[in-house]
Amino acid sequence: MKTIKNEKLIQRNAKIGNVTSLAALAVLGLGMYISFTRQELFVYALIALVLGFTLTQIGIYMGSKFGRSPRPDEKIDAGLKGLQNEFVIYHYTTPVSHLLVGPAGVWVIKPYHQRGEVAFQKNRWRLRGGGFLQGYLRIFGQESLGRPELEIESEIHSLRKYLSKRIEEAEIPEINGLLVFTNDTTELDAEASPIPAMKLKQLKEFMRQKAKEKKVSAETLNPLKTALE
């Protein structure tokens, strides 16, 4: 399998995450200092605390996605290791973060690192457990699953729009989406999911099976690969 990734973007965003986290600590510290020593400046202390909290959220997000190794792209690469050379994985080089192109077709991959019990029930994704820290972060939106099926649909639309500016509409193959849960401890129940969802260890075999069931020819994929170069 061939891997293409935007290393500059990864390094830049990792630095942004580090700087933002340090700035958050400084701003929060300033806010606490003002609140204890200059009570007449309470409004400024409150502003500093709100700003510091916002910066903390940005730092956590950027750090989890770009700062800590193994990053999501590294986990996906490890999960797909061993696929034949006809497969190409693109990280952060298109409107979608992770795109796999090969005999199994075109797949937008959306990774999730959440642990605990994940299930698709009554047309909604639900996350339970995962420990105190995950529960705390979930309150502030850092660990919630949201609506993955809608996010995938939006990413597919963005990718198709991006490609339509580079190749003819008829040359764009079917674009699929799937969810990958990268934490080994996650308990997943996704049988009712409208889109494929699986644990990382199942990803490679899933792609091999798709390639066997309905192989997409190199001739079909070549215009797309050229557009992505």
What was the pLDDT predicted at 131? 53
Return d(Cα 161, Cα 184) in angstroms, integer: 35
**E strand or H helix at 201, and its extent?**
helix 200-213
Indicate whether 58 pLDDT > 70.
Answer: yes
Domain that holds residue 182: 72-228
Indicate whether 18 pLDDT > 70.
Answer: yes
Residues 132 and 196 placed together within one structural domain of the fold: yes
- Residues facing 180 on adjacent strands: 111, 198
If you ran DSSP here, which 8-state letter would residue 172 be given?
P
Domain C-terminal end among 11, 39, 67: 67
Indicate whether 176 pLDDT > 70.
Answer: yes
Closest CA to 108 of 163, 71, 67: 163
Domain C-terminal end among 67, 90, 106: 67
Residues 61 and 116 placed together within one structural domain of the fold: no
What was the pLDDT predicted at 142? 46
Indicate whether 171 pLDDT > 80.
Answer: yes
**E strand or H helix at 25, and its extent?**
helix 7-37
Instruction: Tell me the pTM.
Output: 0.86
What was the pLDDT predicted at 29? 93
Residue with tokens 């079917």: 174
Return d(Cα 9, Cα 66) in angstroms, integer: 9
Residues 103 and 121 placed together within one structural domain of the fold: yes
Residues 213 and 110 placed together within one structural domain of the fold: yes
Residues 50 and 14 placed together within one structural domain of the fold: yes
Return d(Cα 97, Cα 200) in angstroms, integer: 16
Q: What is the pLDDT of residues 114-136, one digit of tens each?
A: 888 999 988 889 888 755 454 54
Domain count, the chain: 2
Residues 40 and 88 placed together within one structural domain of the fold: no
Indicate whether 144 pLDDT > 80.
Answer: no
Closest CA to 78 of 98, 93, 50, 51: 98
Residues 59 and 143 placed together within one structural domain of the fold: no
Residues 10 and 107 placed together within one structural domain of the fold: no
